[in-house]
Chain A
Amino acid sequence: MDYSNSKYYNDPITGELCAIEIKDGGFKHSIPINEEDRHYAEIQRQVAAGTLTIADAD
C-alpha cells in the first residue's frame, strides 16, 4: 500500500478521530487507530522515521 496520501479521518457523528484514510488507485483504505493493525504500525514507523506526514482531518 502507498501511504503517501495518508489523512486523518474523524467520525462525522462523534467528531472523534477514528481512522487514517488513504485514496489509492480506485480504492479508499480506512486504517484503524490500532497498533495491532499492520498498516497503522507501518505508518507509525514511517512517521517516526520522518518519511511520512499525515494530513489533518477535514
Chain B
Amino acid sequence: MTKARTNASASPAVGRNMVINGAMNVAQRSASVAALGATDGYFTVDRFLCNFNASAGRLSMTQTSDGPNGISANCIKLDCTTADASIAAAELLVLEQRFEGQNLQRIGKGVVGAQQITVSFYVKASASFTFGLELFDNDNSRQITKLFDTTTDWVRHEITFPADVDDGSSPFGDDNAISLTLGFWLHAGATFAGGTLNSASWANNTNANRAVGIDSFFSNTANNFFLTGVQMEVGPVATEFEQEDIGVTIAKCQRYFQILAKHGLGSGGGNATVGMGAMYNDAYLTCPLRFPVQMRTFGTLTSGSATGIFRFYRNNGTDVFDDFSTSTARTNYGIEIANSDDMSGTAGHAGFIETVSAAAVLTIDAEL
C-alpha cells in the first residue's frame, strides 16, 4: 500500500491499463443520480456499473471533482442516503467494471503460462471500512476476492491476484462477450458472506465465499465512498496510474455507450442536431445515423418520449413529433431511427431534425 500524490515517470508504457475510464473523467449519462438501489445499471461515470440486489439501502452516485492531486481531478462518490442495517441474505452492492474477453487475452488465463493480475486504485471513505475487491471469471464461473481498508484520506491500494492456470480448460473467450468482472464489494448478505473468504487462489465459484468479512456501506447515512485511479494490468507489479488523453478515453467509452443527441448540448445550450431525415412515405420519417466509434454490438436505443420534443424542418415548414423507434437496419456502426406514429407529410421531402425541449435525448447502449 502506497500513499497517493506521486505520478512521475520517464517512460510510461501506454495501454497497460485494461480498465476503461479508470480516472472517472467521462460521465456521458449524468454527473449525479440520486436514490439508487432498486435496480442495477450504469448511471453516471462511464463503464462503472452499480450492481444492486434486494437492499432497502439507497445511495447517490456522483462524478465528483475531488480526485487525488496528480492522479485525476475526478472520482466516483457514493453517498448513502437510506441506511439498511438489517441485511437479508441475498442483498448486495457491488461497483463493477465488466470486460470483453478479447481485451483480456494478454492474461492468458486458464492455461499454462497464465499471468498474475495486479489491480491498483485510489480510495477514501467517510470512515474506516473493510471492503472486498473481486475478480470474477464470467466464462468459467471462477473467482477470487481480496479485502482492502479505507481511511478518510486517499490511499492507493495495490493488490496482486495469482495466475489461474487451472486445468487448461478455462481460458477467456476471445470475443466481445463478458469474460471478467472487476467488482468492489460494498455490501453483502449471508448468501455472499456466509462462508470462508476465497482469497488465496482462484476457485470455482461458491457464492458464500465471495464477500466474507466486509463492512456494509449501507450501515449509516453518514457513509461515503470515493474511488478513482483504477488500473488493472498484467503481472505482479502495480505501475503508476496510466494517464490518458481525454479523447482516447471518450472513444473507448463510446464503444459501449453514446449520446446521439441531447437537448442543451447545442450551440448556446439549446436545440441539438439529430441528423438529416427524409419522408419515405407520407407517414414514415427515416434518419440514418453513423456512429463515430464502432460499438461492441448493436445495442439498445433510448429515446426521450414526450409530446413534440423533436422537430423536422422540411419544405419551408416544420413538424414536431414525440420520439424515435428503430428499424431492422441497425448494426454496430450505425442505425436507422424513425418515426411512423406522429408524422403526416409528403413522400420525398427531406430536411433536418433537431431537439426541441429538455426531454429530447437519444442514446445507444451496448454495455456489458
Give the B-binding residues of A (Cβ under 8 A).
1-2, 9, 11-14, 16, 18-19, 21, 23, 26-32, 34, 36-40
Choose, from B54-62, B299-307, B345-353, the stretch at the interface.
B299-307
The residues of A that contact B302 with a CB separation of less than 8 Å are 27-30
Most chain A beta-carbon neighbours within 10 Å: one of B176, B284, B301:
B301
Cβ contact within 8 Å between B324 and A32: no
Q: Which residue of A lies closest to B281 (CB)?
A: A13
Q: Within the complex, which residue of A16, A28, A32 is in contact with B303, where a contact is CB–CB below 8 Å?
A: A28
Q: Within the complex, which residue of B41, B323, B326 is in contact with A18, where a contact is CB–CB below 8 Å?
A: B326
Cβ contact within 8 Å between A11 and B327: yes
Most chain B beta-carbon neighbours within 10 Å: one of A1, A26, A38, A39:
A38
Given A9-B325, A39-B300, list of 7 further CB < 8 A pairs?
Answer: A18-B327, A28-B304, A30-B300, A32-B300, A34-B298, A36-B366, A38-B367
20 A-B residue pairs with CB within 8 Å: A11-B328, A13-B280, A14-B327, A18-B330, A26-B305, A26-B306, A26-B359, A27-B305, A28-B302, A28-B304, A29-B300, A29-B301, A30-B301, A32-B298, A32-B300, A34-B297, A36-B176, A36-B366, A37-B366, A38-B367
Given A1-B41, A2-B39, A34-B298, A13–B327 Cβ distance below 8 Å? yes
* Chain A interface, >50% SS class: mixed
CA–CA, A29 and B65, complex, Å: 31
Give the total number of A-B pairs whose CB atoms are below 8 A apart. 74
B338: CB under 8 A from chain A?
yes
Q: What mask results when residues 322 to 364 of chain B are scored 1 for a CB within 8 Å of chain A, else 0?
A: 0111111010000000101000000000000000000100000
Cβ contact within 8 Å between A37 and B298: yes
Cβ contact within 8 Å between A28 and B305: yes
B262: CB under 8 A from chain A?
no
Cβ contact within 8 Å between A21 and B41: no
The residues of A that contact B325 with a CB separation of less than 8 Å are 9, 19, 21, 28, 30
Cβ contact within 8 Å between B305 and A23: yes
Q: How far is the CB of B305 from chain A (nearest CB, A)?
A: 4
Given A12-B340, A30-B325, A36–B301 Cβ distance below 8 Å? no
The residues of B that contact A19 with a CB separation of less than 8 Å are 325-326
Cβ contact within 8 Å between A37 and B301: no
CA–CA, A18 and B49, complex, Å: 27
Q: Which residue of A lies closest to B38 (CB)?
A: A2
B368: CB under 8 A from chain A?
yes
Q: How far is the CB of A22 from chain B (nearest CB, A)?
A: 9
Cβ contact within 8 Å between A27 and B330: no
Given A11-B327, A21-B325, A30-B301, A1–B39 Cβ distance below 8 Å? yes
B177: CB under 8 A from chain A?
yes
The residues of A that contact B41 with a CB separation of less than 8 Å are 1
